[in-house]
Homo-oligomer: A and B are copies of this chain.
């Protein structure tokens, strides 16, 4: 389809392309309070599907959903010293409620470790109460000085898991399980996103954690995006909130804890990992609209046919929208669905009816072919699985081709202009990390030589992945 570009090309200005896409695909708008966002129905549909797929995996990992209050007494935050230092600059504070000034101001949760520990300390009495595995889906607020929609917003939606265990080992293994079986599995299998699993350096750890596991994705412009984290909290919050249990031996012990989160930031990651100059490309297993059946013209037979095809494909288990809004020109609607990244368009016009065919337009590999209408229900599941695999493959190939092994800080900074660099952590260390930071480059994570997650920062052979990041 020859046309003037709808979006600023990625190569011209990647951030502007991102913003254009979000506007034109009707994913989100900026909110009236700086840094907040309105998630529009098509964008929210992506998040709903993420929630569904994540929620299944979280429940399979044994955690149960619950809900803790939005408002946290200011004093709770100060009980864990590193935690308050990390979050204090980002807090929103309610000072006035029900027509009166409050005696103690309350903060709007930036994360819920403190308020959840207040309750864990009541609910956990004995070793029989452990492990306690809780997740919540909620909004959180962190005041953002440099907001960017979906990536850094003052309010965002997320899930946050919080668990308590009897031993260090149990907590460590559970944090690793969430990292691998929930986050990594979801990102590879559903989002079709290649991600690197690693361990954060001390500098990049969550405020209050003893270890942070991360998943980092390479975006279309070669920068990195942190897509989820799973923390070992040790006994830091347990000590601050007196979360103790009576062991089988009759001793009072502090619990060992984890927390882990992933957010609407993943929608931003999806856009920047799979999008192209024509818009978004939604992986079929995620897509809330996998197939759109379009009436090219508004005659009665065509409209009846697209509805019939829509019903058949829905009955075959596909997620389908019928577009018979023929008072809007066909070309404009086709461009709109392309922008929105719906994997498959089925286009039907008067001539197709006679031939019993439809035009099958594929967003992910691109291209159009005529196919027999009767074959669609059997054909499309295979097409969608091919498309899903292609996105994962492309994202892996991009990361592999744009990651280079380097030996010096200068080389690392140079590589980070277009992609990622890998450098032995023993050669870099916290001092080198600080030097990189001054040039806007960060250690995204530490990995083992064979791409695994190291057990500690100083395990021999540990490599640092360094990049510019969102």
Which residues on A are within 8 Å of B, measured CB to CB?
29, 31-33, 36-41, 44-45, 47-48, 64-73, 76, 88-99, 105-106, 108, 115, 118-119, 122, 128, 134, 138-139, 141, 143-145, 154-155, 157, 325, 327-328
Contacts and interface: CB of A to CB of B under 8 A. Distances in A.
| Complex copy number for this chain | 2
Contact of A48 (B65, B72, B94, B157): B65
23 contacts: A29-B122, A31-B115, A32-B72, A32-B73, A33-B69, A36-B70, A39-B67, A44-B64, A44-B67, A67-B157, A70-B155, A71-B154, A88-B99, A90-B98, A91-B96, A91-B98, A92-B96, A93-B95, A93-B96, A96-B105, A97-B143, A97-B154, A98-B143
A44 B69 contact: no
A109 to B, nearest CB: 10
Contact of A94 (B47, B108, B144): B108
A245 to B, nearest CB: 15
B93 A64 contact: no
A384 to B, nearest CB: 22
Given A32-B115, A45-B64, A76-B32, A69 B99 contact: no
Contacts of A143: 97-99
A94 B93 contact: yes
B70 A139 contact: yes
B71 A155 contact: yes
Top 8 nearest A-B pairs (CB, nearest first) are: A98-B143, A36-B69, A41-B64, A31-B69, A93-B96, A39-B67, A33-B71, A97-B143
A119 B29 contact: yes
B94 A99 contact: no
Given A37-B69, A73-B33, A97 B93 contact: yes
Nearest to A134: B41
A89 B47 CA distance: 34
Contact of A65 (B44, B67, B88, B139): B44
A32 B90 CA distance: 21
Nearest to A29: B119
Contacts of A40: 66
B97 A327 contact: no
Contact of A139 (B119, B139, B325): B139
Given A38-B67, A45-B65, 7 more contacts: A31-B71, A33-B106, A44-B65, A70-B141, A93-B95, A95-B95, A128-B327
A416 to B, nearest CB: 29
